[in-house]
Each structure stands twice: as structure tokens, then as C-alpha cells.
Amino acid sequence: HPNIVAAYDAEQAGNTHFLAMEFVDGTDLASVVEQQGPLPVAKACDAIRQAATALQHAHERGMVHRDIKPHNLMISRNGQVRILDFGLAGFATETALCDADEETDGTSVEVAAAHLTTMGSVMGTPDYIAPEQARDAHFADIRADIYSLGGTLCFLLTGKPPFEAATVIDKLKAHVEQPPPALDQLRDDVPPGLARVIERILAKDPADRFQTPEELADALRPFLRPMQVRRRPSRAVLTAVLAVSVVLMLLLGVLVTVGTARGRMVIQSEVGDVQVVLKQGGKVIETIDAATGTTVRWLPMGEYEVELKGSDNDVELSQHGFTMKRLGQVIVAAKWSTEGTGTVRAFTTADQPITTDGVTVDDGGWKIAAAQPRSVHLFDVSEPHFLPGPFHYRAKLKTENVQGRAYLEMWVRFPGQGEFFSKGFQHALSGTNGWAEYEIPFFLKKGEEPDLVKLNVTIEGTGTVWIKDIELRGRRLEPETSTSDKSTE
């Protein structure tokens, strides 16, 4: 494809592996922006449109790039944009490895703390990674590449990625939790229509984005022509216009209202099928069906109240009232209640691990040696009786000379449905690290009742891992006590 840099061969020289690739007489878009500043709107949109056509070509052949970013987009001297590093791309069929993505709330999980290319899985770059890709790269489909194109477009227009933070984990959490920036408020020449396109590209839920790169390319076409700059009128003309305007206002009593006298309410929900009631002065304005992810409403300035419809004690709102200011933004989070969260089961060295091969008691915990990649099944918790919402596998880990990565892993079994997993890519460790506490979540929808939780440690490589202070935590539905079990005075 003319917008993809060809990889001709893969070779090895000693211990170095390399790709022989097509030469492109140009530079990457990251360098262009660093040297020249943000691009004109039309040029930025055209660059992303060209990249989208290349991704459509790959998509039709079952491929996902997984690491779209300004550094991987080359622009030649004649303005042609070419995508680099398709030699690292993965086949979309890998996304069929597990159906767990449909059973968990992708926007609510903690996200990966580093971008890694290990075991054939490209994790992506924190500044541009899609929320679902951060959780597990194997579940990333072409819509993750579309999200990364949106982040790249933000960079081309502003000189900054969509979310800035001091640490990698904070950046990745922002992709999951924060609404995208309103670019028409950051640049005066960004048309509102383009701002809406970018908001859709950067939707937290993949289902809310453009579903194919071709759809994105078509959406960008109206913005490919440079905006016309009108010649500045003479002072005499300006004076005449001003005078006429003043007279009309005085005669007609016209009050000019600014169309931007509104603000944005963002509902961030980690709960599916929740209804948020919006009121003003006690009167219901709208009942909003807030699906998992981000729901946006533009509201006139004023005082508002919000509440949940019904009496669901399992869900709570971050606030129940707010003042909307001009061009302001208010975030209302709908989260599972944490009331009653506690330790369901804790394990100490007095407990016998299920896997004992290469597992010994040491340093207040268990020492796990790996001469090759392995997943160690430590403990099971039967009939946990969790309430809807998140529960967590928590433990302390330390490592020594880990080649590859090591992380917590939890498998959850549902009767008649099979097993689904949560893997701790957000704390994947390599090398040598001292004791630190980590945890991974699993989210239960209403009506879901697992009968078994398996607690594992996975080492994708070699080395030694220690683990201690293992806990399974969550909100538990206490089983009813029968009459015969009750104590009597």
C-alpha cells in the first residue's frame, strides 16, 4: 500500500535482530511538530486521513498495528504519509483468545504501567494507547488503532498528546477515566464539526468510535481544505458596521447572547445500565441512560442536581449537585459502592499452595523459581458470594533477575459459562525489585455469581519471584444464618 512502509526482510546479525525496510525520504510527524509547532488543521487532518487509508488496507487483511503514534508516521517531501513498524503488527485473530473482554468493564480496570513488546504482544505507547488495549493487547482490534489515530491528531493540532501526566500509570489511567480535550476550545481555528469527530475517535467504549478506518477517513474529508482567511475590513467599514449595530441594539433592545454560554457535564460510569436523573430546581430535566464509559451532555449555565433513578444501594454518585459555568466541565462518576469492602480470604505461609514444584517458603512468603515460562496456581477460593462490582486479588511481590515479566493472575469461574481471567499487566515486573504491594480487579455485573476464584502468579520468562500477604478482597453477600446455626442465650 502506498501509505505503508514496506518491510523487505528480517535478519539477525550476532545477537541483534533487525528488519530491512523501505527507505523514506522524509521525517516522522513527531519531529515535524517539535521543529515547526502544531500543524494547520487541513494538513493535520490530511495526514490522519492518509494513515487511516493504510489502516483500512491492513484491517481488510486481518491486521492490527497496535502502536500508532506520531513517531511511527513518516511524511515524505511530497507530503505522503507512511506508517512504520507494521512488521511488529499482530493479527486480529489473536483477539479471539478469550471472550473475557465482553464480560468485564474495560473502562474501569486499572491499566498497564509500561508499554512492552514481549511474547509477541505489542502493548502500545502510553500517550496514545486505547483503554481496552492497555488492559490486554490481545483484545485490541482495529478500533484501538483508530483511538491511537485520534490521540495522534490531538498531538498534530496542539503539540501535546491528549492526556498529560507525571507518570506512565497516571497517563494510562487518564485514557480510561478522563474525557478527551475539547480541541475547539484549545484552538480557535478547529471547527466544531472536527471537534465532534475527534471526540468520537477518542470514545472510551470501542463501540462508540468509528468502526473502521475508512469511516474515519470519510469523516475527515470535509476538513481537508484550508480555512479561508478573509481580508480585514478598513477602519471606515468597521466604524460604519459598529454604528449600525449600536443603533439596531438601541432601537430593538436586542440582547446578544453568546452561543457558548453552556458547559459540559461528563458522566463517567463503571456500571452498565445505570440511569442518572438530572434536575433543576427540583424539576426533572432528563433521565440519562449512562452505559459503561463516558456520556456527555451540554447544559446551559446554572444550578443542577443529579441522582440515581431507583434505590440501588450498590451504586453511588461522586456528587449530587453542581454549578455549570460558561465553557465549564463537571464530571459525575457513577461507581460501584465500596461500602462493606473487606478481606474475604487471606493466605499465609501456614497454607499449602496448590502448586508446590519450585515453590518454597522464604522471607515471610513463597519463593517461586522459574527456569522457563510458567504460571503457578497458588490458591483457590470457593463460593466467594461477592456482591456486584469489583473485587481484588492483592499481594506483595518482589523479583530477582526476571527476564521477561511477572505479574498476578486471577481466573474466575462461572457455572455453565466457563472461566475468565484478569491479568496484572499494570504491575508487570522485570529485573530485580524490592517488596511492593499490587492488586488486580475483576468486575461482576448484576446477577453474576462465580463459584470459584483461582489465584496465580505468572512468569513470562525466567527468574525468581517472591509473593506474600495474599488476600482476596471485595464486597461479600453474607449467607443467611439458619435458625439452627444461631446461638442461644
State how far the Cα of 287 lies from the Cα of 395, in Å rounded to an integer. 41
Catalytic residues: 67
Look up residue 1 and give its amino acid: H
Cα distances (angstroms) measured from residue 257 to each of 98, 238, 453: 54, 21, 59
Q: Which three cell numbers stand for residue 278?
A: 438530572
Phi, psi of 231 (to 5 degrees): -65, 140
Using only C-alpha atoms, what is the Rg of the chain?
27
State how far the Cα of 66 lies from the Cα of 133, in Å rounded to an integer. 8
- Helix H segments across 9-78? 29-36, 41-59
Helix, strand or coil for residue 220? helix
Write the CB contacts of 111 (distance below 8 Å, at least 6 apart in sequence).
131, 134, 135, 169, 172, 173, 175, 176, 426
Residue holding cell 456520556? Answer: 295
Query: Hey, which residues does 334 pair with through a beta bridge?
Result: 269, 317
Look up residue 234 and give its amino acid: S
Q: Which three cell numbers stand for residue 360?
A: 518454597
DSSP category for residue 107:
T
Q: Which residues of 428-463 are buried (b: 16+ CB within 10 A; e: fewer)?
A: bbbeebeeeebbbbbbbeeeeebeebbbbbbbbbeb
CB 332, CB 265: distance < 8 Å? yes
CB 154, CB 69: distance < 8 Å? no
Query: Hey, which residues does 440 pair with through a beta bridge?
Result: 393
CB 393, CB 454: distance < 8 Å? no
* Closest of 266, 271, 318, 275 to residue 294, by C-alpha: 266
